[in-house]
Amino acid sequence: MSGRRRAWWGWGFEDAKLDPAVLAPVVRDVLGFPLPEAIEQPVALASIDLAAPRVATPTAVPWSVDPRDRIEHAYGRSFPDTVRAFRGRIDHPPDAVAFARSEEDVETVLEWAAAEDVAVIPFGGGTSVVGGVEPRVPEDRLGTVSLDLSHLDQVLEVDPVSRAARIQGGVAGPALEAQLAEHGLTMRFFPQSFELSTLGGWIATRAGGHFATVWTHVDDLVESVRAITPSGAWESRRLPGSGAGPSPDRMLLGSEGILGVITEAWVRVQPKPAFRAARAIRFKDFMIGGEAVRALAQSGLHPANCRLVDALEARQTGAGDGTSALLVLSFESTDSDVDDLLRRALRIVAAHGGEWDEPGDGPARAGAVGAWREAFIAMPYLRDALLQLGVLSDTFETAITWERWPAFHAAVSGAVREALGEPCRVTCRLTHVYPDGPAPYFTVLAPARRGDELAQWEEMKRAASDAILAAGGTITHHHAVGRDHREWYDLQRPDLFAAALRAAKSAVDPGGVLNPGVLVDA
């Protein structure tokens, strides 16, 4: 990816941006939304006027006050982040960006920031969709800096006996996998943000990968974590498991940069799977498909992928014709053939009315699975192009137990539709499944109120979040808390736990310089 330039106002790389004109017929004919008279273009980068930096940075670390660097580090990539950047509205730019090339650089930045009362925002791939990396901090801070870790991008050590690797926190998914491939290994962790997000970011946000069962979260792959805090280094002992009290690396998992800057971790790796089998299975009803997924989750078969997509989303992604829900079901193994596992799983789905095409029956099987996979990867780019066409496009995810799932789906979908009004489209897929419940992932599409998209999004987001908590779900399954979910996170967690987290924050970061306002008050 060297030489490719990141898009400054939206997702991904500039050379991978989608042409909104190509999507216009889909917006008109598939979604049924009106098209704008003209495709809106982002403001010119050079036209954005930033306030002058408020701090003088030390010379011991590579720093930048270049406007583009400051703008690229001013936001993550949520819908409101993208709208504001697209229109040239940079509400809270960092005063400077520090590009750490070593742990010593991290230590220098934190020491300087504590002495100068400057907030530090750890920045990996910048893919947060919950306001996790925006330098929106209390006004009493004398400045903010974004601490970019992208140069800490190496696989440092591989243990082929225990199948683990020590990896720096700033490495992005493709570079991580390329380095592991030299040893015939893979981390086998592929979130939707894979091309840009980093190992440290995955750990800090308790990210979820592509696979639906067993090792679904990065939590399941971590052996130990090392972080630099304003009070010193924090590193857990590398072990396959331990019952020695609360785990130090488990506290860093999900800490979102408030307890330390994650510089490296030991993670579990494995050879690339050599055996795979998959089917695309159709169900006439999404909820009936959910019953089949529950049976699979409770069967002990542990499919690698068990992703159920409702009929409307299947149509919108080109994986179906809109008449059936679609289950993408697959198995894989590094050791042995998985065809028998697939056959056993197909017996379960058949008992719930599932239908599929066998290999050789035509292009339906490969076409459905392939179309959905390609759409899954392209979805963040798609959102940006839809914005240019006047479409609000966003997602949110959660988790709920199976016995509450049907009522939960109805309540959350209904709340979003009521908030947005007609016409709107609310689709759902089950991305991860557990024996006791699914992780529903909702996609929302509606004609945008041009110039008022942020208020429109706020109305939708509040309705969805209120409905999720009222129905017993979690405010996030794998997108983290950030600043956008903080209000509902405070309601979800026990008060005594919040007090304990504040105490931990005070112990490692007594000056409160690390990502203030995230998870706990500064």
Indicate the SS3 state at residue 371. Answer: helix
Tell me how crowded residue 237 is: count the other CB atoms within 10 A of its CB: 12
Tokens 């925002």 sit on residue: 121
**3-class state of residue 442 by DSSP:** strand
Is the distance from CB of 399 to CB of 492 less than 8 angstroms? Answer: no
Check residue 364 and give its pLDDT.
45
Per the confidence metrics, is the pTM higher than 0.85?
A: yes
For residues 360, 363, 369 and 374, what is the CA-based torsion angle, rounded to 10 degrees? 140
Got the DSSP string for 93-118?
--SEEEE--SHHHHHHHHHHHHHHTE
Secondary-structure breakdown of the chain: helix, strand, coil percentages, each rounded to the nearest 5? 35, 20, 45
Residue 83: give the domain boundaries. Answer: 14-148
| CA 505 – CA 514 distance, rounded (Å) | 9
Q: Which of 299, 315, 319 is nearest to 365 (CA)?
A: 319
Instruction: Tell me whether residue 223 is in a domain.
Output: no
DSSP labels, 118-132: EEEEEESS---SSSS
Residue 371 falls within a domain, yes or no? no
CA dihedral of 453, 454, 459, 465, whole degrees rounded to 10: 120
In a domain, 84, yes or no: yes
CATH code, 127: 3.30.43.10
Is residue 381 in a domain?
no
Is the residue at 83 inside a domain?
yes
Q: Which position has the token pair 């050879």?
A: 271
What is d(CA 435, CA 293) in angstroms, rounded to the nearest whole number? 10
Residue 111, pLDDT score: 96
Q: How, if at all, do strands 305-309 and 325-333 pair?
A: antiparallel
Question: Is 73 a member of any domain?
Answer: yes
- 95 secondary structure, DSSP code: S
Cα-Cα-Cα-Cα torsion 46, 48, 53, 57, nearest 10 degrees, comes to -40
For residue 66, being part of any structural domain is answered with yes
Domain count, the chain: 1
Across the chain, which has 522 residues, the per-10-residue mean pLDDT values are 82 93 91 93 96 90 96 97 97 97 97 96 97 94 96 98 98 98 97 96 96 93 97 95 92 97 98 95 97 98 96 86 94 95 98 90 52 70 95 97 98 98 96 97 96 97 98 97 98 96 96 96 80
- Does the residue 277 lie in any domain? no
Question: Cα–Cα distance between 229 and 157 in angstroms, integer?
Answer: 23
